[in-house]
Amino acid sequence: MVCLARIPTTHSWEVPIHTGMGDWNECPDASVLAAFARRWQLRYGVEIVSATHDVLEFTVYDPPTTREAALELAREQYLLCADIVDQGHGSIAHLAAALQNSNYWYFWWD
């Protein structure tokens, strides 16, 4: 089942706040999710393109292009969502390699 919703905002980083996403298990509360999304929108031009009960997906218009910048971002993303490393990429370095020049980011929480 797919549910589409019109969120009353022009800033996609506000989506977690409007939907009440988070604050369960390992998923941070909506204000934390929104703060990271806002930071990344300003820094990398991201837009949230999908949000479910346990997943956030982003389109990235200005991804990191250097290994150093990608490592810095990977460390931030690990703080937000450890599962993308611990149950996904296996290391911060592998996550950083996937983030460098990538136009898509994916987060999930168990």
Is 5 a member of any domain? Answer: no
Q: What is the pLDDT of residues 8-37, one digit of tens each?
A: 888 999 989 988 888 888 899 999 999 999
Beta carbons of 41 and 11 less than 8 angstroms apart = yes
Is 87 a member of any domain? Answer: yes
CA gap 91, 85 in Å, rounded:
5
Is 4 a member of any domain? Answer: no
Task: Quote the pLDDT of residue 53.
Answer: 81
Q: Residue 67: pLDDT above 90? A: yes
Task: Quote the pLDDT of residue 18.
Answer: 83
pTM of the model: 0.90
Question: Which among 57, 104, 108 is positioned nearest to 82, based on CA atoms?
Answer: 108
Is 7 a member of any domain? Answer: no
Question: Which among 64, 65, 47, 69 is positioned nearest to 56, based on CA atoms?
Answer: 47
| Average pLDDT over the chain, rounded to an integer | 93
Give the count of domains, the chain.
1
Is 1 a member of any domain? Answer: no
User: 99, exposed or middle or buried, with CB in 10 Å at 0-12, 13-18, 19+?
Assistant: buried
Task: Quote the pLDDT of residue 1.
Answer: 64
By residue range, what is the domain housing residue 33? Answer: 12-108
